Amino acid sequence: MDEIAQIECKLCLPPGAEMILRMLSVFVPRSELEIYLEHLRIKTIPAYEASPGLISVVLVRREFAEYVEVATISTWQSDDAMARFLGNAVLLSPSQPVSSMVEWDAHIYEMVEARCGKQPNVRRDPYPEFKDGAD
């Protein structure tokens, strides 16, 4: 439960704060997905983690017929922090772990608003409308 709370707090945007979101999508043949994900876990994600100014990095995927889209979504404290990271492109440069992947241009967004969900207190009754046990 504590890990979830930490994730939520990192993605909240305090008033007046700057946060940059970068999304890079790659389409990988389904047959080579595990090879690509392993490459991301061993080389790419550690490079993100070591970069000053990184707030979070997330991998998401969605499946198509013969390909899987894998998107790397990273959030940064500033444009400068992201630019310093991207300047180390050698760390990210696809030594093409997968021969037939297709990479889309990255999209970069300035976060305008981000809020955290309000988690109920674990000790409270999660269903107060059913206090008497009646439906």
- 125 within some domain: no
pLDDT at site 112: 83
- 60 within some domain: yes
pLDDT at site 89: 58
pLDDT at site 1: 38
- 74 within some domain: yes
pLDDT at site 131: 55
- 10 within some domain: no
Instruction: Give the model confidence (pLDDT) of 12-71 as tens digits.
Output: 666 667 889 999 999 999 999 999 999 999 988 999 999 999 999 999 999 998 999 999
- 135 within some domain: no
Q: What is the CATH number of the domain that holds 70?
A: 3.30.70.100
Instruction: Give the model confidence (pLDDT) of 58-102 as tens digits.
Output: 999 999 989 999 999 999 999 999 999 988 755 454 455 666 778
- 26 within some domain: yes
- 9 within some domain: no
Domain count, the chain: 1
Domain of residue 82, residue span? 16-117
128 has pLDDT over 60: no
pLDDT at site 8: 47
3 has pLDDT over 70: no
- 89 within some domain: yes
Up-side HSE of residue 132: CA atoms within 13 Å toward CB? Answer: 2
